Amino acid sequence: MINLKRKLNDGNEIPIMGLGTHRILEPAEIVYNSIKDGVRLIDTASRYGNEEEIGKGIKRALEEGICKREDLFVTTKIWLNDKIDPEKALRESLKRLQLDYIDLYLDHWPSVKDYRTNADDPFTLISINDFWKNMEKLVDIGLAKSIGVSNYNVQSMLNILSFCRIKPVANQVEFQLYFYQKNLKDFCDKENIAFISYFPLGHGNNAKIYIKEHNGEFDIFEEDIVKELAKKYGKSVGQIILNWHYCLGAIPIPATSKIHRMKENLDALAFKMEEEDIQRLCKSFENKKIRFCGSKKYCGINLFS
C-alpha cells in the first residue's frame, strides 16, 4: 500500500493523493472500496450534496476495521451562503458525515455570498476578517483539525495572510496540464501552504462538455507528449498526468466512479518521471489557460493567479 504523506504548516499530515467526490456515482460504495484499496484522503463539500453518502462509506470501512478514524484524512468545505455561521455549517456537515471532527475544513470560494441568489440580502454578508476568525474558532474547539481555502488566487491569499491568527494549511484549486497555475503554486510553496489540485486529469463532466463544444479538441488524454511518456514509462496516460502532479509537489484528488480506477491512480505514486520530462510537460502546456471550473457564476468575477 502506498501511503505517503506531507506535513502541513500546522504539524498535521495529509496524504499526497486522495479521492475527489464531486458528481461521482454511488459515492458510499466508491468511498468504501477506495478506502479498502488504500485511499486515506477523502474530499467532499456541503455543496456536492453527497456528504451523507460519503459518511456511510467511511462508517462501513471503519466498522469493518479496514482502518481507524485517525488513519483517514477527510476534507469538506463551507458554501458561500453558510459563511455567516461556520460552526453551524460544520456541525451540520459532521452530522451528515457521521464524524466527530473534520481533518480539513476549506472555504469553498473566496466570496462572502453566492452571487446567484439573494443578491440584495445584506444579512448574508460577513467580512472576510470576521469569517476567518470564526473558522479559527473551529480549530480552537476541536471541530476541525486544520483549516484552509479553495479557489483562492494570490491576492485573496495575501489578504488572509495579512491578518490571520491561524494560517491556511492548504489551497485547493483547479490545477491540470491545460490550467497550469505556476505563479499560484510558486506562491503557495513559498508560504508553505499545501497545493491541492482538483480536476487533476483534466477530465470529468465539465471537461467533457468543453471538449464536445470544441469538436473533440483539448482532451489531455489525446495529447501526443502525454501518450509518448506513457509509452516510455510503461504507464497509463492517467498515471503520467498524476505523476506530474506528484513530482511538482501538488496533491491531486482525482474523482472517479469506477472502483478499479483508484488503485490505478494510487500506483501513479510508485515512480517518478525524469526532471527533463516533467519540464517538457510544463513548457508544453504553460500557455494554454483552459479552465473547466469557472468562478464568475459564484463570485461575480473570474479569479486567476
Enter the pTM of the model.
Answer: 0.93
Residue 303, in any domain of the structure: no
Which grid coordinates belong to 97? 458525515
SS3 call for 105: strand
Verify whether residue 48 is a known catalytic residue.
Answer: yes
Residues 32, 48, 152, 210: which is the catalytic one?
A: 48
- In tens, the pLDDT along 164-202 reads 999 999 999 999 999 999 999 999 999 999 999 999 998
Residue 300, in any domain of the structure: no
Residue 100, in any domain of the structure: yes
Residue 305, in any domain of the structure: no
Residue 70, in any domain of the structure: yes
- In tens, the pLDDT along 135-172 reads 999 999 999 999 999 999 999 999 999 999 999 999 99
Residues comprising the chain, all counted: 305
Supply the CATH number for residue 193's domain: 3.20.20.100
Domain total in the chain: 1
Nearest to 248, CA basis, from 304, 188, 203: 188
Q: Which residue has the cell 471532527?
A: 101
Residue 115, in any domain of the structure: yes
Confidence of residue 304 (pLDDT cuts 50, 70, 90): low
Residue 248, in any domain of the structure: yes
Residue 302, in any domain of the structure: no
Expressed as residue numbers, the domain containing 245 is 13-288
- Residue 121's pLDDT is 58
Half-sphere exposure of 158 (CA within 13 A, CB side): 6
Confidence of residue 210 (pLDDT cuts 50, 70, 90): confident
**N-terminal to C-terminal alpha carbon distance within the chain:** 35
